[in-house]
Amino acid sequence: MHNPYKPYPVRVDKILVETEDKNLRTFKFVFLNPEDEQAFAYTPGQFAELSVPGVGEIPIGIASSPTEKGFVLFTVNKVGAVTTFMHNMKEGDIMGIRGPLGNSYPMKDLEGKNLVIIAGGFAVTTLRSTITWMLDPAHRDKYGRITFIYGARTPGMLLYREEWSAWQKRDDIDAIITVDREFPGWDGRVGFVPTVTEQVAPSPDNTAALVCGPPIMIKFTQPVLEKLGFSEDQIIMSLENRMKCGIGICGRCNVGPEYVCKDGPVFTLAQLNRMPKEY
């Protein structure tokens, strides 16, 4: 019988310090058994349980895109026991990943639409996956205009500099990167994500908004989108909750009748408005 609790063994291939406070590191994993990469077939927006034997498991969004072969990426914030342990791991160490878990961004339903992708802080991880996937030559034609708005407190707290710098040079995506206040050496845009969204967001006609960020950003961005005319069906978000099993059984991540781990983490605002705010 297939055991969905059993992680695939992986090797830490590379660890990249992402932010100036060194609290965010991106882990590049390679599967120990090459056939496991096929079994770990994922879509943008899904997550996995990162499993460190002897320490435990944590649910983390998949930052790489299925179009990137040979490895998977996860960006991990140092918060608790497992993440702190991981931050002390070395390249070459062995651990496990279990998944892919959860639903994903509705990439099929989004075909033919314009997209505004709004991210704050380190919640950008699964949106990195989504954008990379859409910009792949095999997929780019299926989507309309793509506007990416990404903000952080300071330039040093922005993740994925290499990626968004490359996106800024392309003409098939508008990548608008902003920081909260003026900063020496930063000649990019300055302003909070909700304000910038109001300035640059496309018309809501045939457009969907993917929003992922800290609660404070969501709180102020949602009214902006509503003011711009986005309906609750056009706003798509991804939730986080404490999780253990990741497969809709152990009972702790549910928000009303929905399990964030299995029925989510991606929900439309229309769905969220019918659910308790227990997240």
Partner 1 sequence: MAKYLKKSDLAGFIGSLAGQYQVLGPVEKDGRVVFAPAGAADLKLDFQNSHTSPKDLFFPQSERMFQFTLDPNKEGAFVLQDVDLAPAPRLVFGMRPCDAAAFFVLDRVFKNDQFTDPYWQVKRDATVIIGLGCNQPCPTCFCPSVGYGPFHEDGLDAIATDLGDGFLIKPLTEKGQKALAGAKGLTDPEGKMDEKAAAIAAAAQESIKSEVPTRNIYTRTVMELFNAPHWDRVFESCLNCGTCTYVCPTCHCFDIQDEVTSAKDGDRVRNWDTCMSWLFTIHGTGHNPRPGKKERVRQRFMHKFKYIPMKRGGLIGCVGCGRCVNLCPVNIDVRDVVRDMNA
Which of 20, 53, 70, 142 binds partner 1 (CB under 8 A)? It is: 53
Chain centroid to Cα 45, Å, comes to 6
Shortest reach from residue 192's CB to partner 1, in Å: 20
Q: Is 190 left (phi over 0), alpha (psi -120 to 50) or beta?
A: beta
Residue 96 near partner 1 by CB under 8 A: yes
223 binds partner 1 (CB under 8 A): no
The DSSP secondary-structure symbol of 188 reads S
Smallest distance from the beta carbon of 233 to partner 1, in angstroms?
18
Nearer to partner 1, 188 or 215 (CB): 215
| # of chain residues touching partner 1 (CB under 8 A) | 46
**What does the alpha-carbon distance between residue 236 and residue 116 come to, in Å, rounded to a whole number?**
10
Contact 12, 71 (CB under 8 A): no
Give dist(CA 162, CA 185) in Å, integer: 17
Mask 198-217, x = binds partner 1 (CB under 8 A)? -----------------x--
Close Cβ partners of 235 (under 8 Å, ≥ 6 residues apart): 208, 209, 211, 222, 225, 268, 269
166 versus 250: smaller Cβ distance to partner 1? 250
For the bound state, the minimum distance from the C-beta of residue 279 to partner 1, rounded and expressed in Å, comes to: 5
Measured over all CA atoms, what is the biggest interatomic distance in the chain, rounded to whole angstroms?
Answer: 58
Positions touching partner 1 (CB under 8 A) are 1-7, 9, 32, 51-57, 79-80, 83, 93-96, 215, 240-242, 244-245, 247-252, 254-257, 262, 274-279
